[in-house]
Structure 1
Amino acid sequence: MTEQTSASSKAEGAAERVDITCADGARLQGHFLPASGGTPGLPVLLCPATGVRQHFYLRFATWLAQQGHDVLVFDYRGIGLSLHGPLRASQARLQDWGQLDQVAALDWLLHRTAREQVLLLGHSAGAQMIGLLPNHGKVARLVGVSASTGWFSGMRLGFRLKARFGLRLVLPLGILFKGYGVSAVLGLGENLPAGVARQWGQWCAAGGYATNAIRQHPERDFHAQVRTPMTVLHAADDDIATPATVADLLRTFPAAQKQALRVKPAQHGLKSIGHIDWFRSSHQVLWPMIAGALRGSN
């Protein structure tokens, strides 16, 4: 067993495996970690990035619980422990992760902790969909790590071409021949349900991200109503969450108090941070910054 696997196993052992039922009957699997020290704070709903399993966040979630927060992390439908049956049979759409999965996880955490509000910590896509949540008013503060719209036109040219090739050609071909998005071959996390992969490419091409899910359904669009204070942390070496793509996300919440903080790896003794590494044990020096943003001290 590697050191990384051992650490992940210990973190999982300290967490309670939980079952979350969505409004449409879909069942999600998550882990709940009760606060175990530090100054008591609001519960934290940790929403993963696209194609990233909940186990990736367990060591960070364990640390956050030690800072005084109850923490819930989960897998979206069609991913990790929330994939039931063959991936090609999954009917999950990207919008379902917001409209159904995050809504249910938020309600579960409120019920479990008997609190009126929680903090939402979203990694990439995990922070992009609060405008799809009818219960968005239950979120006291949102912190997005590497959060942006992933808008192709907001990326530097070289990476933009690479992203278009992957999301608009390779993933559709994978859906055609395999029945699911072959994101793993692109180094983009877990393979994805076809509906998720398809919308991912469409939304990144269009800009505005989750606003594309409800253009024809204004009654399901809460973007203009969201007044939750939000902070986005993004790395200077992140090819996806760039200043332009972060701004494209924040503009979709006109009524919210919001700020974006661009973090340079060298200022924290790191060679790189990128889009994913914030939650790795090797980057634990960044964790107090995330905790501070959750408590509004950044």
Structure 2
Amino acid sequence: MSHAHSTESVTFTCADGTPLHGHFVRAQGDATPGLPVLLCPATGVKQHYYLRFVNWLAHQGHDVLVFDYRGIGLSLHGRLKDCKATLAEWGQQDQVAALEWLLARTGQSQALMLGHSAGGQMIGLLPNHHKVARLVGVSASTGWLRGMRPAFRLQAGFALRGVIPLGVRFKGFAPTAAIGLGENLPAGVGLQWGQWCSAGGYATNAVRHQPDRDFHAQVRTPITVLHAEDDDIATPATVADLLRTFPVAPKQAIRVKPAQHGLKSIGHIDWFRNTHQALWPLIAQALRG
């Protein structure tokens, strides 16, 4: 079956009225059916990057929804410099609405969340977190600068605390594409990203003085983080920094060696590339628990 026929282009609306665009794929083949999967992308990574993996996962028995956050890819409406999106809204609005849409569409009461990097870091911002049966974070961590190797910390710090704020001042958006950090980002997203990575504790920074919007201590969803040995961002220290923000959730971190899967490297982003299909069964297995 070709991708074109099995992949449906969809639009759904967040509580604040923002429309988001995604792709929905029904489970295919004769694999044992599993719960639907919500695939939440990494910062500045468009949903199209994940479509091959999404189709593969559909053949493992899952209905899958992948989408672009506000201000990215198909969910950017108008000019980037006019986009008022924040990183917190990606969790509080976008992931919340995507989860509700997927459950309504599939008639299920719970879904699995597969979050790549930032996509797996914000469940503590979701009032509907109890509708996530399991969270698998791929390369998920807080990106805490002090948890990285010194050389990479300097590079990341320069990007997040130097290039992004300057770009926002002069261009009106975060010029992340120029420094190899994915798509350009809305100003509010880029600035918040820098603040959260500097402070540690990631999304807890968004709700520090808003107890009614902070669900970190209530999340009981089992959390598994898969991170590569050669990932400069999701290091053992930054992964631990993320997991500590969920005090009552059952949690585990699995560090993956590229060579054990016949790969030269994995890093932070490459998990979902066609060249890295050797890793896909690991992800599917983690989702099934």
Quote the residue 1:6 is aligned against.
none
TM-fit CA distance, 1:14: 2.9
SS in 1 for 2:112: strand
With normalisation by structure 1, the TM-score equals: 0.96
TM-fit CA distance, 1:13: 5.1
Give yes or no for contact 2:13–2:19 (8 Å, CA) kept in 1.
Answer: yes
Residue from 134, 147, 154 that aligns with 2:140: 147
- Unaligned runs of 5+ residues in structure 2 are none
TM-fit CA distance, 1:11: 3.4
Q: Following the alignment from structure 2 to structure 1, what is the Cα–Cα distance between the partners of residues 3 and 262?
A: 26
Percent of residue pairs identical: 75
Confirm or deny that 1:105 pairs with 2:98. Answer: yes
Give yes or no for contact 2:28–2:58 (8 Å, CA) kept in 1.
Answer: yes
List per-residue Cα deviations over 1:109-156 (Å, max 9, x = no partner). 000000010000000000000000000000000000000000000000
Quote the residue 2:215 is aligned against.
222
With normalisation by structure 2, the TM-score equals: 0.98
Give yes or no for contact 1:28–1:75 (8 Å, CA) kept in 2.
Answer: yes
Q: Following the alignment from structure 1 to structure 2, what is the Cα–Cα distance between the partners of residues 248 and 24?
A: 31
Confirm or deny that 1:80 pairs with 2:70. Answer: no
Quote the residue 2:85 is aligned against.
92
Residue from 21, 38, 44 that aligns with 1:45: 38
SS in 2 for 1:253: coil
TM-fit CA distance, 1:158: 0.2
- Unaligned runs of 5+ residues in structure 1 are 1-9
Describe how 1:232-271 pairs up with structure 2 within 5 A.
232-271=225-264
Give yes or no for contact 1:12–1:58 (8 Å, CA) kept in 2.
Answer: no
SS in 1 for 2:21: strand
TM-fit CA distance, 1:12: 5.1
Give yes or no for contact 1:12–1:55 (8 Å, CA) kept in 2.
Answer: no
Report the AA paired with residue 201 of structure 1.
G
SS in 1 for 2:118: helix
Report the AA paired with residue 198 of structure 2.
A
Give yes or no for contact 2:6–2:26 (8 Å, CA) kept in 1.
Answer: no
Q: Following the alignment from structure 2 to structure 1, what is the Cα–Cα distance between the partners of residues 231 and 82?
A: 33
Distance 1:250 1:84, change over 3 A: same
Q: Following the alignment from structure 1 to structure 2, what is the Cα–Cα distance between the partners of residues 36 and 188?
A: 34
Quote the residue 1:7 is aligned against.
none
Residue from 62, 72, 88 that aligns with 1:69: 62
> Hey, which bits of structure 1, 4+ residues long, moved more than 6 A?
none
TM-fit CA distance, 1:39: 1.1
Q: Following the alignment from structure 1 to structure 2, what is the Cα–Cα distance between the partners of residues 115 and 240?
A: 34
Quote the residue 2:15 is aligned against.
23
Q: Following the alignment from structure 2 to structure 1, what is the Cα–Cα distance between the partners of residues 204 and 273?
A: 30
